[in-house]
Amino acid sequence: MPPKRISEETQLRRAIEHLEQTIKSFPEEYATLFHPARNLFLAFLRGVVYGLGIIVAVALVVPLAILLVHQIQWVPLLGDFLTDVISRMEQVRMLR
């Protein structure tokens, strides 16, 4: 038996019915998206959470970075090197 072919008219009718159902569901699904007061409140809340996240991240990262720098022994050597470079630059500037 050959498979039944769906006529173009039937396909079009089904597509139109599906489109009608989709259009009817818009007010129900998207009603909450179109409330400006709610959107403003959510944007404010999102900003507060973002700000708190940055504060917590900095509060964790900065002490860990300071601890790491204190643990490394070659940092004073780097500081001495930079001090020498700066003093030489100042000497050259005074000579001019």
pLDDT tens for 18-35 read 999 888 877 766 766 677
Q: How many domains does the chain have?
A: 1
Displacement of CA 88 from its chain's centroid (Å): 45
Looking at the domain assignment, is residue 3 inside a domain? no
> Cβ contacts of residue 75 below 8 Å, gap of 6+?
69
The pLDDT score that the predictor gives to residue 1 is: 46
Looking at the domain assignment, is residue 42 inside a domain? yes
Domain extent for 20: 8-95
Looking at the domain assignment, is residue 38 inside a domain? yes
Looking at the domain assignment, is residue 73 inside a domain? yes
- Which phi and psi (to 5°) does residue 2 adopt? -75, 145
Whether this model's pTM surpasses 0.75: no
Q: Which of the pair, 83 or 74, is modelled with greater confidence?
A: 83
pLDDT digits (tens, 9 = 90+) for 33-81: 677 788 889 899 999 999 999 999 999 998 888 787 777 766 667 777 8
Looking at the domain assignment, is residue 52 inside a domain? yes
The pLDDT score that the predictor gives to residue 29 is: 63
Looking at the domain assignment, is residue 49 inside a domain? yes
For 31, which DSSP code? T
Looking at the domain assignment, is residue 70 inside a domain? yes
Looking at the domain assignment, is residue 1 inside a domain? no
